[in-house]
């Protein structure tokens, strides 16, 4: 099997698994208890907080452990919104191609009277600091823009956007779930006030993440209850998960350059290979892009059929369209970068990791080329394109 869906989730690293084991077994105490046995777990928790903080270049007390990226996104946004509302500021800026953890949180806030500006994303999948600057108003309480997009892998000019927000004194949150452990993340250097990450996107366990919030920022609870996480996130801490995430984060951050250099030529080989398929195009900028992300649109193809046939050939991949939700809506990300509906339906996301080989890449290129040809030969829609009944969207 070739697992080319690493943006969806990753395999845990051995280091991360081993870091978790003691907390299922010997060190199972509750960190909130007073006896020495619980204190061992408490020490482990604080050790992880300090090490995770070092990876992001922040202070331990600026970190709140969460159940993942979604919870961290929710808490960051709701906290900024509540603080803003107290000062009569109820305007939030984001982009049209955020993850649903951000978009749906904002939709809920809109029902509570917040106004949200969704910045257009350029056709290359990048928003500019100028767009952010132009959109900021007197009543803006938050800018939330993802670090790297989960579908098309484009990397945003986070440091520059952060600088604009600092200058205008508006809080800046970034969903860095796809970035952390893959490209450099440094909250100080990159002018980030709040940031969300999720362990299972960098070879850590599922159900564990963290929220960084610069000191001075008051967080509101999403989960109410006990006094864990400085009373900002109730619930007995997932020590094993936190230990696994911390180990995975340290490991990934220490190998960012090495992994980048391994993956970049493979990504380029994959893009070159798939570009040879006629009437196809890469989605998103080729340069400002995660080293593991390749995302293509093929004219005259249904993404779901493509995925099923690739599965038969042992390739796990993903498509933008939300077939699992029962709707046939194409990806909001591809629509945001201006892909027409009929093309957005025929998308394919392949996300590789540092263990891929040239042989894997060549196998994928061959399989995708065969499957696209096969599906096009059966498609009445494709026949219309060939016969000139419908115009092509892409150049040959
Ligand atoms: C996966 C992902 C999330 C959600 O993280 P979970 O830990 O699965 O809740 C949020 N944002 C982005 C960009 C993601 O890729």
Summarised one tens digit per residue, pLDDT across range 24-54 is 999 999 999 999 999 999 999 999 999 999 9
> Is residue 101 in contact with ligand 1, taking CB distance under 6 Å?
yes
Nearest atom, ligand 1, residue 199 CA? 7
Nearest atom, ligand 1, residue 149 CA? 13
**Tokens in use for 151?**
């579908």
Beta-sheet pairing, 209-213 with 194-198: antiparallel
Tell me the pTM: 0.97
Q: Does 297 participate in catalysis according to the annotation?
A: no
Distance CA 303, CA 331 (A): 11
Q: How far apart are the first and last CA of the chain?
A: 32
> Is residue 351 in contact with ligand 1, taking CB distance under 6 Å?
no
Residue nearest ligand 1's atom 14 by CA: 177
Matching residue, tokens 């490991």: 251
**Residue 327 CB contacts under 8 Å (≥ 6 apart), including other chains:** none
Distance CA 42, CA 212 (A): 20
pLDDT (0 to 100) of residue 324 = 46
Q: How many angstroms is it from 70 CA to the middle of ligand 1?
A: 6
Q: How many angstroms is it from 177 CA to the middle of ligand 1?
A: 6
Residue nearest ligand 1's atom 10 by CA: 69
> Is residue 293 in contact with ligand 1, taking CB distance under 6 Å?
no
pLDDT (0 to 100) of residue 328 = 67
pLDDT (0 to 100) of residue 322 = 52
> Is residue 146 in contact with ligand 1, taking CB distance under 6 Å?
yes
pLDDT (0 to 100) of residue 318 = 95
Nearest atom, ligand 1, residue 101 CA? 10
> Is residue 79 in contact with ligand 1, taking CB distance under 6 Å?
no
pLDDT (0 to 100) of residue 325 = 44
Q: How many angstroms is it from 100 CA to the middle of ligand 1?
A: 9
Q: For a ligand 1 pocket test, name from 101, 183, 196 the mutation site with the most ligand atoms within 8 angstroms of its C-beta.
A: 101
Low-confidence stretches of the chain (pLDDT beneath 70): 320-328
**Tokens in use for 108?**
């809920």
pLDDT (0 to 100) of residue 321 = 55
Distance CA 292, CA 19 (A): 26
């Amino acid at each position: 099997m070739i697992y080319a869906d690493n943006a969806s989730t990753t395999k845990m690293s051995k280091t991360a698994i081993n870091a978790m084991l003691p907390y299922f077994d010997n060190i199972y105490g509750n960190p909130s208890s007073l006896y020495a046995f619980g204190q061992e777990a408490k020490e482990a928790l604080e050790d992880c907080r300090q090490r995770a903080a070092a990876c992001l270049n922040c202070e331990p007390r600026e970190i709140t452990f969460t159940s993942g990226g979604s919870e961290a996104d929710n808490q960051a946004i709701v906290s900024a919104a509540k603080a803003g509302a107290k000062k009569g500021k109820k305007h939030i800026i984001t982009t049209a191609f955020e993850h649903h953890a951000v978009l749906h949180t904002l939709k809920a806030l809109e029902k509570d009277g917040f106004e949200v500006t969704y910045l257009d994303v350029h056709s290359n999948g990048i928003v500019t600091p100028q767009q952010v600057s132009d959109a900021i108003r007197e009543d803006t309480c938050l800018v939330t823009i993802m670090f790297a997009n989960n579908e098309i892998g484009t990397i945003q000019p986070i440091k520059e956007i952060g600088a604009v927000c600092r200058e205008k004194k508006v809080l800046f949150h970034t969903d860095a779930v796809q970035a952390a452990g893959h490209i450099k993340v440094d909250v100080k250097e990159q002018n980030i006030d709040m940031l969300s990450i999720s362990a299972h996107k960098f070879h850590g366990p599922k159900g564990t993440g963290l929220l960084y919030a610069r000191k001075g920022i008051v967080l509101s609870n999403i989960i109410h209850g006990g006094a864990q996480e400085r009373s900002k996130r109730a619930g007995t801490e997932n020590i094993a998960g936190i230990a696994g995430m911390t180990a995975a984060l340290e490991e990934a951050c220490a190998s960012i350059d090495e992994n980048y250099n391994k993956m970049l030529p493979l990504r380029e080989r994959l893009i070159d290979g798939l570009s040879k398929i006629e009437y196809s195009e890469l989605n998103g900028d080729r340069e400002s892009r995660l080293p593991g992300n390749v995302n293509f649109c093929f004219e005259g193809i249904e993404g779901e059929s493509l995925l099923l046939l690739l599965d038969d050939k042992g390739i796990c991949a993903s498509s933008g369209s939300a077939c699992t939700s029962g709707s046939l809506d194409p990806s909001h990300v591809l629509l945001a970068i201006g892909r027409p509906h009929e093309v957005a339906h025929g998308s394919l996301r392949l996300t590789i990791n540092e263990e891929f080989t040239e042989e894997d890449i060549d196998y994928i290129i061959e399989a995708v080329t065969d499957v696209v040809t096969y599906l096009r030969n059966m498609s009445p829609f494709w026949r219309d394109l060939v016969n000139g009944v419908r115009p092509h969207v892409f150049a040959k």
